[in-house]
Structure 1
Amino acid sequence: MKNRRWLSVTMIVATATLGLVASPVATAQPARPPSVNWQPCPGAEGIDCATIEVPLDWARPRGEKIHIGLARRPAKNPATRIGSLLINPGGPGGSGVEFIKSNDVLGADTARFDQIGFDPRGINTSSQLLCDLDLSEQSDAAKRPTSQAEFDALARINRRLHDSCRANSGPLADHADNLHTVRDMDAIRAALGEQKLTFLGYSYGSLMGQQYAELFPHRVRALVMDGNMDHSIDNAWDFMRSETAPVEHAFAEFANWCDNTETCALHGLGTIATYTELKAHAKAGTLRDADGEPVSFYDLADIGFRSVLPQLWSQVAQRLRDLRDGTGTPTALSAFGEIVNDPYPAIWCSDWRYPVRNYAEYAGLRARLAQRFPIMEWSPYVDHAMSCVNSGTRNTNPQHPLRVDHAPPIVMIGNVHDYATVYEWTLAAVRQSGARLITYEGWGHTVYGGNFVPCVDTAVNAYLIDLTPPPRGLRCPSIDQPGLVAKEVQPRPNIAGPYRIG
């Protein structure tokens, strides 16, 4: 996405409302299941691709159609095949098709499933949501207003951006909420010939699994949600607070490590004191990099944010030391990505509403964050709360506590130090749904797959294969260590992602 920042695999490894609203979307049925015509994916050996048709508007199943892109990594041993495992890597905007092409999530035991990735409506090989990228860039840059005039400018830019999405994408822009995606998932299940759904959703994909369990509890075989959204949060403060808390905690843990590790670049200088001094200069406009360019509060916070991954701690410390000594640049740990297809605005504002009425309210929220979290004061995820100011996009999937009735056991995974879909959200989703919880006492964003954490994978695999839920209260110890060099770090399957939720 243009000028949206990404924590790419390369960068991380090398350094790193109230009640469910009745809706016709939840009751309509398609005329008949779509069919799947698998063909080899160009440039992806061993992977098949296909598309299916689904209704644009599930309230009018016989009306206009759109297409959904699929990819399949076949089960390794057809004789022991159990069925299809539908997978979504998160987002909003993540491509399940690209994920399947580049990731074999399942180990030898669980390779008894066809791994099916899908591109949710609006994304990649599905019917695309297209928005003006210049306006998208302007919206990103305007989400941190410092006056009412700047707040008003953000409101105008957001409206123009969302208008451009509707102009370029037609009615799809008004039918992009997660309830429609959940209906699409059920159409995929039917097209695959599965009586019940087996699903693995990472990050934003967790909302897909959660709401599938709400709408189709009788069609659930097994659902695993790794890094959970909390769709009951209905106000900007709770969203901003919960997203900033783990960043503050991570920096404090990093500082403690640095102050007690002689090889850390800030050892003996007082890590928090050094960051606080740099922050004061950044706010005053007097912090400069080695080229004499100004380093803003947000440039500095972007470096501090990298403390959410222990394998980056040594390099975070070095970047801060370089800025202290006037020899460093603020972008050394940042990565940027550009895409033409921009599904984020329509999807996010269809699923979430965090009203912020004016600059005074925004300034009050930021002041509360600074008081509550005095080191970092902010997380880049805070900006999401400003995405829908005056957008004109209807919140057609309003927030509400989960209501899962008569479903078989479902499984949710949470990382204690998750910086995106924070552990607090997973705990809330578990309380609301009655799901079985697997807690990973480690760092990073999502964890299952590739035997990265055997304790987690073993429990999830037993559930997927034999439908044996994990024991209640299962906690898996952290394997994360600070300061690892690139070759020692094994990337998680879903570790890449922009400063979107997942």
Structure 2
Amino acid sequence: MEPFRVAVSDPVPVDWTDRTGPATVVDVVRVAAKDPARRSGKVVANLGAGNSTAAITGPRSAPIQSWLDQLTKRLDVVVFDPRGLGRDAGRIECPRSPASILGLVRGQDEATWRAHAKENAAYDAGCRQAAGPAFAGLNSWQMAHDLDALRAALGEEKLRYFGNSYGTTYGQAYAELFGARLERLYLDGVADHTQARLVDWLSDHAQAQEQQLSRFRDWCARTPSCALYGVDAAAAWDDLVASAGHSTGDLFAGALVGMNPPRWPDLARAIAKARAGDFGDFRTVLQYPPNGPTGSVQSATLCHDFVPALPGYHRFLRIERQLKAIAPRFGWIEGRYQLGRCVGIPGEPAYPPHPLSAPHSPPVLVTIGELDNNTGHLGAAHVASQFPRARPVRHGDGHAAYLLGNTCLRRHGNAYLIDGTLPAPGTVCPGELAP
């Protein structure tokens, strides 16, 4: 195993607008380049929601191991955890978990909305009490400043950064605040933090999910092992919803799990069994993982960044009608899925979404997955369009495909991070990871 060093940052202000106030620290893991004589620099990385350093210091998945092996041929890789989410230092342990992310999907009446909000509010109150003053720093504006402090501590004049999933939010914030200090920026699985209007952000999510249903149908049509082979899988879904009555919440909750491409075979089997009267797979096989481990502040931070201003129940119904108009078969459920994270959680300390302004950023590599139903391709393309020198690369896989091992993305992403070589304009990578 290559040598790695586990550390914490020097103390950083909880609030970077008050550098004399309380301080906190973040966890960092540095994996050294294998051959120091060939080392060409350092890349700082965040791998997405939750704890990134655990993926490096604990048992490594095969994709993470291969990613490290490839980059550390020439680079030191420095992985950091956002404040409050580390392994030890500065970790905030909330006494309660948030409400189920699928709670508003399964129960679609006002009483469920109010009960869900109450459960989330109790989670948030517990986090605030456990965190004390550190709670005031839980948004990506503060974390972008932490990232710049890490750059300085590493002795780097300019930052090379790779962000995956939630890590792209920190990258967008850093480009706005410190664009002149960026050397290279690679974003994959891009979370769109640039939509000022909630309805626009939800509409992009809804349309991407609606398209996912068609892509699932097309996969079934060309895959003999699909349990719905020979059947229009999207029409089978429509018929199932039309006949399900009060069970539609369970159907949509399971399908949100099953629309992730690795789960397409499970979704096809669940629909086939339900057509024969057995809906059990939608409640058992297609289970969503817990919304972060018990005690995590991830949900609170996400809400501070993405949904600090929440609609009430009746205003949300008006938004939902708009979503049903543009994504009537499946995608409209994204409104309930996304707001289920945050209903009941106050927005402060807020870092609201807003149009991106990063005029001093270098050429930015943005890779966009056509099958990504986590951070959809419409939002990723919207982010890329706002960088003055973005190089978007579309690919035929889903979320986190660079980390998961799409060889075309690995080739281009590594060349950019190591040598600064951008792919040719119009480059497209084929899908490799879908079933």
Q: Normalising by structure 1, what TM-score?
A: 0.77
Deviates more, 1:350-359 or 1:415-424: 350-359
Which string of whole-angstrom CA distances, capped at 9 and with x for unpartnered residues, describes residues 320-359 of structure 1? Answer: 1112223443221325346233112331222123644332
Q: In structure 1, which of residues 61, 83, 97 is the aligned counterpart of residue 19 of structure 2?
A: 61
Aligned to 2:158: 196
- Does the aligned pair in 2 maintain the 1:356–1:386 contact within 8 Å? no
1:51 aligns with 2:2: no
Deviates more, 1:78-87 or 1:321-330: 321-330
Q: Which segments of 5 or more consecutive residues in structure 1 lack a partner in the other structure?
A: 1-43, 286-295, 483-502
Instruction: Quote the offset at 1:427 in angstroms.
Output: 1.5
Question: SS where residue 85 of structure 2 aligns?
Answer: coil
Q: In structure 1, which of residues 121, 132, 135 is the aligned counterpart of residue 83 of structure 2?
A: 121
Letter in 1 for 2:169: L
Aligned to 1:137: 99
Aligned to 2:271: 320
1:100 aligns with 2:52: no
1:213 aligns with 2:164: no
1:416 aligns with 2:370: yes
Letter in 2 for 1:201: G
Instruction: Quote the offset at 1:181 in angstroms.
Output: 0.5
- Does the aligned pair in 2 maintain the 1:49–1:72 contact within 8 Å? yes
Change (3 A) 1:198 1:141: same
Instruction: Quote the offset at 1:269 in angstroms.
Output: 4.6
Instruction: Quote the offset at 1:377 in angstroms.
Output: 4.3
Letter in 2 for 1:226: D
Letter in 1 for 2:92: L
The 2-side partners of 1:57 and 1:344 are apart by 18
The 2-side partners of 1:195 and 1:67 are apart by 22
Q: In structure 2, which of residues 229, 236, 255 is the aligned counterpart of residue 304 of structure 1?
A: 255
The 1-side partners of 2:344 and 2:254 are apart by 31
Q: Normalising by structure 2, what TM-score?
A: 0.88
Listed as ranges, the matches of 1:161-172 within 5 Å are 161-172=123-134
The 2-side partners of 1:441 and 1:200 are apart by 18
Change (3 A) 1:339 1:304: closer
- Does the aligned pair in 1 maintain the 2:2–2:32 contact within 8 Å? no
Instruction: Quote the offset at 1:175 in angstroms.
Output: 1.2
Question: SS where residue 409 of structure 2 aligns?
Answer: helix
Instruction: Quote the offset at 1:397 in angstroms.
Output: 1.4
Letter in 1 for 2:375: T
The 2-side partners of 1:252 and 1:399 are apart by 30
Aligned to 2:28: 70
Question: SS where residue 396 of structure 1 aligns?
Answer: coil
The 1-side partners of 2:102 and 2:255 are apart by 20
Q: In structure 1, which of residues 82, 91, 113 is the aligned counterpart of residue 40 of structure 2?
A: 82
Q: In structure 1, which of residues 420, 424, 439 is the aligned counterpart of residue 393 of structure 2?
A: 439
Change (3 A) 1:436 1:471: farther
Q: Which segments of 5 or more consecutive residues in structure 2 lack a partner in the other structure?
A: none
Which string of whole-angstrom CA distances, capped at 9 and with x for unpartnered residues, describes residues 362-396 of structure 1? Answer: 22333333332232144557433354445333253
Aligned CA RMSD, in angstroms, stands at 2.7
1:245 aligns with 2:207: yes
Instruction: Quote the offset at 1:81 in angstroms.
Output: 1.3
The 2-side partners of 1:252 and 1:320 are apart by 15
1:461 aligns with 2:431: no
Change (3 A) 1:470 1:139: closer
Which string of whole-angstrom CA distances, capped at 9 and with x for unpartnered residues, describes residues 471-494 of structure 1? Answer: 222222223454xxxxxxxxxxxx
Which string of whole-angstrom CA distances, capped at 9 and with x for unpartnered residues, describes residues 157-199 of structure 1? Answer: 4333322221111122221110110111111112222222111
The 2-side partners of 1:355 and 1:205 are apart by 22
Aligned to 2:220: 258
The 1-side partners of 2:109 and 2:175 are apart by 43
Change (3 A) 1:441 1:321: same
Letter in 1 for 2:18: R
Aligned length: 424
Q: In structure 1, which of residues 464, 470, 473 is the aligned counterpart of residue 423 of structure 2?
A: 470
The 2-side partners of 1:377 and 1:464 are apart by 35
- Does the aligned pair in 1 maintain the 2:14–2:136 contact within 8 Å? no
Aligned to 1:393: 347
- Does the aligned pair in 2 maintain the 1:71–1:116 contact within 8 Å? yes
Listed as ranges, the matches of 1:369-388 within 5 Å are 369-379=323-333, 382-388=336-342
